[in-house]
Amino acid sequence: MNFVIPPAPRPSLAVEGTSDRYPLHRIYCVGRNYAAHTREMGGDPDRSPPFFFMKPADCIVENGDSLPYPPATSDLHHEVELVVALGKGGANIPLAQALEHVYGYAVGIDLTRRDLQGDAKEKRQPWDAGKGFRHSAPCGALRPVTAVGHPDAGTIELKVDGEIRQTGDLNQMIWTVPEVISFLSGLFALEAGDLIFTGTPAGVAAVGPGALLEARVAGLAPLNVTIEDS
């Protein structure tokens, strides 16, 4: 096959302790999946059906990397999240079988241009400019299910320049990982290589140039990224 322009390399993630790479397909994100965060964003933390948005796969930033402060914003926010990496896909996946589709887990940060997202909400427009910009999805190395199991409890936290900004527990999710996978697969035919960012606890806040972000989920490889000092 001849391409009219050179194709871009396929984005991928490190697999902890190996030289292997996990090829990325899509990045799905769950909105407002922790009660306290839902309240701080002005929502009602009930069991209404979850909602989702996407980020392009080339938004990934890996552990130890730096990223530029994004353009067109003065209100960049951090959101630490458990990330699910699928090892096989499917549509309309039964709840009881959902975890069979998981390859592994990582810790991620959903970076958000909150001012652009807020403006889009007011105008009832899509969130792409606020959520799907370049470098908006830092993610640590994957730890396979064979090494970590399926974490459903444990600390999730984020520090900025050594100060804890967000802290919570995975058991505070409104929708569990198998529920998220099952519901999402009714909207999209999922594929191996898909990542799911599963929502963030309370404490989201703005960060500026020069900040060091340290994200942790119990049992998983850490994630440290720096926002470049302009």
Domains of the chain from N-terminus onward: 12-227 (3.90.850.10)
Q: In which band, very low, low, confident or very high, does the pLDDT at 37 lie, cut at 50, 70 and 90?
A: low
User: Quick count: other Cβ atoms within 10 Å of Cβ 39?
Assistant: 13
Tell me the whole-structure pTM to 2 decimals. 0.96
Q: Provide the residue count of the chain.
A: 230
pLDDT in the model for residue 32: 87
pLDDT in the model for residue 1: 86
Residue 11 pLDDT > 70 = yes
Place of tokens 């404490």: 203
CA-based R_g, the chain, Å = 17
Quick one: what percent of the chain has pLDDT higher than 70?
A: 96
Higher pLDDT, 117 or 41: 117
Q: List 226's β-bridge partners, or say none.
A: 66, 212
What angle (nearest 5°) sits at the alpha carbon of residue 92, between those of residues 140 and 172?
45
Angstrom distance (rounded) from CA 162 to CA 120: 32
Mean predicted confidence (pLDDT) in 122-139: 97
| Two structure tokens written together for 220 | 């998983």
Angstrom distance (rounded) from CA 141 to CA 139: 7
Q: In which band, very low, low, confident or very high, does the pLDDT at 47 lie, cut at 50, 70 and 90?
A: confident
